[in-house]
């Protein structure tokens, strides 16, 4: 360990040489090299964390530069991972840098995370956030969570010392229509810098075993009035018992999945295309519905992957459920298995279908 390099922090009574040694022996994985990931990486690298891993597959775009301050104009179009590696290397040659040239997926998450001590969730989407949570719970790794919305930042440490997880606060991922995940919501450049720096600080506190780690609390920072709110929340013990990942983490996104309104589907029904309608509600719900769509085949979502024999080849597939959420999941489950079939989810499900029928019958009166 280079004594002079870290003297300004080793001379801190509550950090000391012991704190520095703890950092140098530790490994930290940063998921996402973007607005949050960059300040996390820059500080942990500068402060002497022994091994830093990075998971990222994006390229550097012009619109990244207002907040991703590691990158320069000459880096546009290059791989974030490679540019970050080169720059971090130049800043501290003592750090072992590991690059994972991929996005975090259901297939690679456990393998990638397994070798690190602490994980930093610096991702920008719900699918990855729930995946990071579940993988960390399974592998018993603490993870430092940061997330942004406009001028606001959220911070917490999950799965630390038996404390709560992300799912203790937010049990289920939001559906695609409730929170704009794919419509870039906008972020003021400096906000991820602040929240990412707070995440780096939590990592250091965990590794050096100093201070009070932010677990069991959610910190909400509002940049517009410089306010910090801390919310206490308890662990739900069941959430710590997870032993496997979910079947799918694909949260239906607004761009990749096709949806159709109930009114348009009515027109499809009268048209000449070959189509099949699959109602993915469970059998009980379907049987108790006094008025299901008569042409629908009922295959509950949970049985969809094992009952693919009921799916007609060369037909356009339409999926319906009660509110339009499970039908989107159906597409993400079957999409790769049936690449030849066009698939649509009926927006708003049977709820919308009924209102559409009512409107249609009123206009006939």
Partner 1 sequence: MTVLLFGITKDIVGSGTLSLAANQSESIQTVAELRSFLKGKFPKLGGLSSLAIAVNSSYAPDETKITETDEIALIPPVSGG
Write the CB contacts of 18 (distance below 8 Å, at least 6 apart in sequence): 208
Query: Could you say which of 48, 173, 252, 292 contacts partner 1 (CB under 8 A)?
Result: 173
Binding mask of the shown chain, residues 265 to 304, with x at each position contacting partner 1 by CB under 8 A: ----------------------------------------
Q: Which of 126, 143, 215, 265 binds partner 1 (CB under 8 A)?
A: 126
What does the alpha-carbon distance between residue 250 and residue 253 come to, in Å, rounded to a whole number?
8
For residue 320, the Cα-to-chain-centroid distance in whole angstroms is 25
Nearer to partner 1, 181 or 279 (CB): 181
Write down the least CB distance from residue 55 to partner 1, Å: 12
Applying CB under 8 A, which of residues 229, 267, 307, 312 lies at the interface with partner 1? 229
In the bound state with partner 1, the residue whose beta carbon lies nearer, of 83 and 122, is 122
Nearest CB to partner 1, comparing residues 256 and 310: 256
Alpha helix stretches (DSSP H) within the chain: 7-10, 16-24, 37-47, 80-91, 109-113, 126-139, 166-169, 190-208, 262-270, 283-288, 326-334, 349-364
Residue pair 154/220 in contact (Cβ under 8 Å)? The answer is yes
Residue in 127, 134, 87 with CA at minimum distance from that of residue 103: 127
Answer yes or no: are the C-beta atoms of 219 and 194 closer than 8 Å: no
The least distance separating partner 1 from the CB of residue 33, rounded to whole angstroms, comes to 10
Residue 154 binding partner 1, by CB under 8 A: yes
Binding mask 178-217 for partner 1 (x = CB under 8 A): xxxx---x-x----x-------------------------
**Residues listed for the chain:** 365
Q: Which CB, 22 or 81, lies closer to partner 1? A: 81
Q: Does 43 bind partner 1 (CB under 8 A)?
A: no
Contact between 203 and 157 (Cβ < 8 Å): no
Contact between 242 and partner 1 per CB under 8 A: no
> Going residue by residue from 12 to 41, which x/- string records binding to partner 1, judged by CB under 8 A?
--------------------x-xxxx----
Interface residues for partner 1 in 66-125 (CB under 8 A)?
122-125
Please give the Cα distance from 342 to 344 (Å, whole number).
7
Q: How far is the CB of 222 from partner 1 (least distance, A)?
A: 8
Distance in Å from the first CA to the final CA of the chain: 84
**Distance (Å, rounded) from C-alpha 229 to C-alpha 219?**
6
101: its two tokens? 């040239």
Q: Which is nearer to partner 1, 220 or 357 (CB)?
A: 220
Residue closer to partner 1 by CB (options 61, 342) is 61
Q: For residue 92, what are the CA distances in angstroms to 49, 178, 196, 314?
A: 10, 42, 19, 57
Q: What are phi and psi of 87, to 5 degrees?
A: -70, -40
**Least CB distance from residue 115 to partner 1, whole Å?**
23
Q: Which is nearer to partner 1, 32 or 50 (CB)?
A: 32
Residue 302 exposure: Cα atoms within 13 Å on the Cβ side: 4
**In the complex with partner 1, which residue's Cβ is closer, 227 or 358?**
227
Q: Which is nearer to partner 1, 83 or 325 (CB)?
A: 325
233 binds partner 1 (CB under 8 A): yes
- The answer to whether the CB of 123 falls within 8 A of the CB of 151 is no
Q: C-beta of 130: minimal distance to partner 1 in Å?
A: 10
By CB under 8 A, name the binding residues for partner 1: 32, 34-37, 122-126, 129, 146-150, 152, 154, 169-175, 177-181, 185, 187, 192, 218, 220, 222, 229-234, 325
């Amino acid at each position: 360990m280079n004594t002079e390099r870290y003297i300004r922090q080793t001379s801190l009574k509550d950090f000391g040489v012991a704190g520095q040694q703890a950092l140098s022996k530790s490994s930290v994985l940063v998921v996402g090299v973007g607005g949050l990931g960059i300040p996390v990486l820059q500080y942990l690298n500068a402060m002497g964390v022994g091994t830093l891993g990075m998971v990222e597959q994006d390229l550097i775009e012009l619109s990244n530069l207002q907040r991703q301050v590691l990158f320069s104009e000459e880096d546009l179009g290059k791989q974030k991972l490679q540019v970050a590696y080169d720059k971090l290397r130049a800043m501290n040659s003592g750090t072992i840098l590991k690059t994972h040239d991929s996005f975090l997926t259901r297939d690679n998450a456990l393998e990638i995370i397994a070798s690190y001590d602490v994980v930093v969730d610096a991702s920008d989407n719900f699918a990855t956030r729930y995946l990071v949570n579940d993988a960390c719970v399974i592998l018993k790794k603490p993870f430092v969570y940061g997330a942004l919305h406009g001028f606001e930042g959220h911070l917490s440490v999950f799965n630390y010392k038996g404390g709560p997880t992300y799912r203790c606060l937010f049990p289920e991922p939001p559906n695609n229509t409730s929170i704009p995940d794919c419509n870039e919501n906008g972020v003021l450049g400096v906000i991820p810098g602040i929240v990412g720096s707070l995440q780096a600080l939590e990592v250091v506190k965990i590794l050096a075993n100093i201070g009070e780690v932010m677990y069991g609390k959610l910190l909400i920072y509002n940049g517009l009035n410089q306010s910090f709110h801390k919310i206490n929340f308890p662990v739900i013990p069941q959430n710590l018992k997870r032993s496997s990942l979910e079947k799918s983490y694909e949260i239906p996104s607004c761009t990749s999945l096709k949806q159709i309104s109930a009114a348009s589907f009515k027109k499809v029904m009268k048209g000449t295309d070959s189509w099949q309608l699959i109602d993915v509600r469970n059998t009980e719900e379907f049987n108790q519905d006094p008025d299901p769509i008569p042409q629908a085949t009922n295959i509950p979502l949970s049985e969809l992957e094992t009952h693919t024999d009921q799916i007609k080849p060369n037909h356009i597939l339409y999926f319906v459920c009660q509110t339009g959420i499970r039908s989107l999941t159906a597409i993400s489950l079957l999409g790769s298995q049936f690449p030849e079939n066009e698939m649509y989810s009926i927006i708003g499900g049977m709820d919308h279908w009924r209102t559409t029928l009512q409107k249609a019958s009123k206009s006939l009166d």
